[in-house]
């Protein structure tokens, strides 16, 4: 690889890194081509990007965000996940896949908005609800008082109709 190709790789990593909130490093311990394709497809569906870069290129591209802990994760053959708009879904896909293929793929660490995140925090982050789920929960909370009010009004109307029907049936009997 010549100098121009190396600088192009560093530039590409830097673009992906700066464009995404979440960057996760996972060690690839021998995923076969079919499994790698399956993982890339899964991540691509949720809007993320999965790429392989040399660790030295990643270290250069990350610049000041690299600390001792992150540098220790930049060892071995790594796959880099760059989270899309809904990065929790991307992370969930990677974590689920690593559970199924734990002997070949190990999630090590990452960065969230430039801050270091270890594996345990990534696991917790992957259990959070997605943006769509959070929006639905907020909408349900906002609509709950209105729904209750409508039910109360509807109950009053139903009770009035029942009273009128009972009066009618009593007059019909008499």
Q: Determine the Cα–Cα distance for residues 11 and 82; give it in Å rounded to an integer.
A: 15
CA dist list (Å): 49 to 1, 45, 154: 23, 10, 51
* 117 shares its domain with 134: no
pTM over 0.75: no
Q: Which of 92, 91, 89 is nearest to 80 (CA)?
A: 91
- Assess whether 121 and 138 both reside in one domain: no
Per residue in 62-86, pLDDT tens? 888 788 888 888 888 989 999 878 8
Q: Distance between terminal CA atoms of the chain? A: 102
Query: Token match 């660790």: residue?
Result: 55
Q: Are 124 and 149 contained in the same domain?
A: no
**Tens-place pLDDT, residues 123-157:** 988 888 878 888 888 888 888 888 888 888 777 77
Domain interval for residue 139 = 129-174
Token representation of residue 17: 């890194």
* Same domain assignment for residues 111 and 151: no
Collapsed DSSP state (helix, strand, coil) of residue 114: coil
Task: Clarify whether residues 136 and 104 are in a common domain.
Answer: no
């Amino acid at each position: 690889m010549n100098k121009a190709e190396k600088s192009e790789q560093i530039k590409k990593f830097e673009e992906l890194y700066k464009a995404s909130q979440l960057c996760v490093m996972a060690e690839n311990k021998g995923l076969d081509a079919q499994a790698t394709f399956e993982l890339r497809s899964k991540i691509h569906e949720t809007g993320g990007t999965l790429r392989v870069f040399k660790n030295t290129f990643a270290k250069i591209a990350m610049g000041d965000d690299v600390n001792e802990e992150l540098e220790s994760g930049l060892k071995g053959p790594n796959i880099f996940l760059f989270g899309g708009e809904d990065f929790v879904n991307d992370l969930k896909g990677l974590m689920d896949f690593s559970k199924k293929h734990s002997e070949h793929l190990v999630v090590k660490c990452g960065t969230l908005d430039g801050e270091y995140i270890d594996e345990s925090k990534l696991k917790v982050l992957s259990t959070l609800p997605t943006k769509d789920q959070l929006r639905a929960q907020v909408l349900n909370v906002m609509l709950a008082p209105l729904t209750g009010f409508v039910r109360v009004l509807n109950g009053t109307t139903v009770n009035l109709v029942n009273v009128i029907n009972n009066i009618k049936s009593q007059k019909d009997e008499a």
